[in-house]
A = this chain, B = another copy of it.
Amino acid sequence: MPAYDDLMAFQRTTEALAQVAGRTGWDQETFMPKGAAPQRAEEMAALEEVLHARRTDPRLGDWLEEAHALDAVADANIREIRRNYERNRKVPARLAAELARVTSLAQGHWAAARASEDAAAFRPVLAEVIRLRREEGAALADGADPYDALMQDYEPGGNAAEMAAMFDAMRPRLVALRERALDSEPAPTISGTFPAAAQIALAAEIAGRFGYDFQRGRLDLAVHPFSSGSGIDVRITTRVDEADPFNCLYSTIHEVGHASYEQNVDPVHLLTPIGQGASMGVHESQSRSYENQMGRSEAFCGWLYGRMRDTFGDLGIGSERDFYRAVNAVRSGHIRTEADELHYNLHIMLRFDLERALIHGTLEVDDLEAAWNERFAHDFGVPVDRPSNGFMQDVHWSIGLMGYFPTYSLGNLYAGCLMQAARAAVPGIDDALAAGDPSPATGWMRNNVHQFGALRRPADTIAHATGAAPSAGPLLDYLEAKFGDLYP
C-alpha cells in the first residue's frame, strides 16, 4: 500500500507541525513576553500558511484516491485526512492566513480589554473576527448553513438542529431543578485563607491523583485555563483566585480530564490523525466527568474536605455534607466557568443562540452586548454589571471559536452516558473516590474511551463505550438525583 504509506508519512509531518503550532499558542498564553505579540501574530500566520498548504496539498487528493484501508485504523486515518482535506480545500489560503493572524492578535486585545472592562476597544476586534468567520462559514457551507459548517471543526457530524433539540429536551428539567434550588435554603460557603502557592501545590497533587502524567506534561498559570497538545507533551494551565480555591482546583481537574484523554491514547497512534480526541464534545465528556461527576461527587468531596483542612486550616464549615453542599451550591452567577451543573447548560444555550445569530448575520457585534445582557437578565434573573461578567468573559469568540460552545453541553450529555456505564461496570467507584482515589473511574475511561483516540466518530465513540446511542436521559437523571438530594 505505497499510497497509504506516503499519505501517512506526509501526514505525520503535518501532525508534528500542528503540535508545534499548538505549543506556540500555549506559549502565547503562558510565558510569551507582552511586547512580542506583533511578531507572534506573524509566526502564527506563517505556521498556518504552511499547515494550510499541507492540508490542501493536491498530492493528498491523489493518495486518498489510491489508498485503500486494510484495517480499522487505516480506515479511520483515511476518514480523518479526507474530511480535513475536503474542508480545507474550500478555504482560500489568504483567508486561512488572515484568520490566524487576526485571531492571534485578537486574543491579546481581548485579554487587555477584558482587564480594563473596555467593551468599545474589543468591539472592532471581535467584528473583524466575526467577519472572517462568516466568510469562512460561507465558503465551507456551499450554500448550506454556515454555522453548521463551522461546527464540524469541533464536532464532526454535529449540527445546530440536533443541538437545539438537545437544549429543548434539557431546558425544562434544568429550569425546574434550578428553581427548586434557588427557592431553598442557600448552601453554606467556605471561608478562610487560601494562599496561591498552596492552591497550586494542591492542584498539582490532585492532578496526579486523577492520573495526569507530569513526565509528559506540566501545569502553569494562564488567564483562561486550557489543555494543549497531544501525544507525549500535553500541558495544562489553571488560574488562582485567593478568595476562591474551588476555581483553581476544579479548573485543574477539568483540564486533567482533557489532558488525560490525550495522554492515554494508544501510543501507536502518536502523530497520526486518530492520535487525539475524537471531538470537542467527547473531550468535554472527559473534562466534565472528571470535574463534576467525579470531582464534585459526595464521595470525593468527603476526601477533599479533609485534605483542604489539612492544607488551609479551618474552612468555616462543620461537616463533609456541608462541604459537599458548598461545592455544589446553585447560584445565578455571571461566569460560565464558575457555574454549577444546573446553570452551566443555561450559559451555553445563551451563547449558542447569540453566536448562531452573529454568524447568520441577524445580530451584529455592535448589538451583541445589549443582546447578551437582556438575555442574561431574562434567563438568570440578575443584571450584567460589567463586560467581564458578560459578553467579554470568554476567550472563545476572540479566537474565532464559533460553533464550539454547544460541544460543552454535548460533553455534559456524553458524560452522563459514560458515567452511568462506568458505574454499572465498575464496583467501588465511590468508595475509592472517598479515599481520594479516582482511578477506578478514570481507569474505565482510559480503557473504554481514551485509548481509542479518534478511531471512531464522536457519537460512535460514546456508543462503543456505553453500548447505547447517546441521549440526554442519563445526564438529567443524574442531575435530578444529585440536586434533588442536595435541595430536597
Contact = CB atoms under 8 A, between A and B. Distances in A.
Contacts of A23: 24, 27
A213 interface: yes
B215 A33 contact: yes
A49 B13 contact: yes
Interface string A38-56: 1110110111011000000
Contact of A46 (B17, B46, B213, B216): B17
Contact of A35 (B20, B40, B216): B216
Given A35-B213, A39-B270, A233-B33, A45 B27 contact: no
A39 B17 contact: no
B271 A36 contact: no
Given A16-B42, A39-B270, A39-B271, A233 B50 contact: no
A20 B20 CA distance: 8
Which label, helix, strand, loop or mixed, suits the secondary structure of the A interface? helix
A242 to B, nearest CB: 21
Given A31-B218, A33-B217, A215-B33, A233 B39 contact: yes
A406 to B, nearest CB: 32
Contacts of A42: 12, 16, 271
A39 B19 contact: yes
A13 B232 contact: no
A453 interface: no
A214 interface: yes
A16 B46 CA distance: 6
A414 to B, nearest CB: 28
A231 B12 contact: no
A34 interface: yes
A20 B47 contact: yes
A214 B39 contact: no
A32 B20 CA distance: 12
B20 A24 contact: yes
Contact of A233 (B13, B36, B218, B235): B36
12 contacts: A12-B42, A16-B43, A16-B47, A20-B24, A20-B43, A32-B233, A33-B216, A35-B213, A35-B215, A36-B232, A39-B232, A40-B233
CB-CB nearest 6 A-B residue pairs: A36-B233, A16-B46, A35-B215, A35-B216, A13-B46, A16-B43
